[in-house]
A = this chain, B = another copy of it.
């Protein structure tokens, strides 16, 4: 009986901090300024009766994907998909052996393949993303995501999502927020896997797109993906995409590069409480360190504006206890 009480007492003493840790919805964030700012903002807009209270329907939060929710180095993961897909399609395209940018690409010369700039890139993207139905493309993305691995980390690409951001998404949703992705990446490249990775359903994904066309094939309706750009959801395109898909201004937005600047401006220009956060890649050991001079995820103008307007800037090395899921 006495021993029982002591055990019980010990359990009570030790379980409190353990429970507190287990219950911290942002456990992968260090207790530094960004975490405090996030919690303060959420408490502010959810406190009923306060002047800053925001009704649930208006709690819209938008997140960039590449470099904000998952990694983007040494090349956008969708480009890795495009390269793999082009190689897989090569046997059906003997003409590629002598036609650029495919010839260089198939020889393993990525630099040569991309020497033609945007035009070369676009040819690779169209060859790898178009001329299939939407259902076929979804399956192609699923198969690639299940098999392809990042050369440096050996992880599947959907295991290179940021654990602190996954927790942040869940924390916002637990507080009545609707979370959206607003990415320069392809909308149909993201939808097949982001629901499982981030808990974001396809109808809350906004991205760049190519045109699709409705057709009847053997009496069955299909949507065919055409080799034609429909919309680029980057920079000035992000507020346009938000307006088109959501029709309501977010109260919180999260990005990592100059491609997110206009989304952050649009979000913070609304009345009432607003929140803007930028992820700064500072951890060359656990992830990558890059900003103003990087061609991928350039963080320059948006960083200056973040400083001037006191937006929250996350220093990954300092503010994130963990980067990827299942670390340690």
Contacts and interface: CB of A to CB of B under 8 A. Distances in A.
Nearest to A238: B214
Copy total for this chain: 2
Contacts of A216: 265
Interface string A190-214: 0100010000011111000100111
A225 to B, nearest CB: 10
Interface string A124-139: 0000000000100000
Given A220-B269, A266-B221, A214 B202 contact: no
B212 A247 contact: no
A187 interface: yes
Given A214-B236, A223-B239, A187 B269 contact: no
A247 B236 CA distance: 23
Contact of A212 (B178, B214, B223, B240): B240
Interface in A239-267: 239-240, 243-248, 262, 265-266
Contact of A214 (B205, B220, B223, B239): B239
Contact of A213 (B57, B188, B240, B269): B240
A214 B237 CA distance: 7
A204 B246 CA distance: 8
Contact of A221 (B202, B247, B265): B265
Contact of A245 (B178, B203, B236): B203
Nearest to A204: B203
Interface residues of A, number: 35
Interface string A218-234: 00110100000000000
Given A187-B247, A245-B245, A247-B187, A223 B203 contact: no
A269 B202 contact: no
A201 B57 contact: yes
A140 to B, nearest CB: 15
A248 B214 CA distance: 15
A214 B245 CA distance: 15
Contacts of A205: 247
A233 to B, nearest CB: 11
15 contacts: A57-B195, A178-B203, A203-B247, A205-B247, A209-B244, A214-B236, A214-B262, A214-B266, A220-B269, A221-B265, A223-B239, A223-B240, A223-B243, A223-B266, A245-B245
Given A212-B244, A213-B236, A223-B240, 20 more contacts: A57-B201, A60-B203, A134-B243, A178-B203, A187-B247, A201-B248, A202-B247, A203-B203, A203-B204, A203-B246, A212-B243, A213-B240, A214-B237, A214-B239, A214-B262, A214-B266, A220-B269, A221-B262, A223-B239, A223-B243
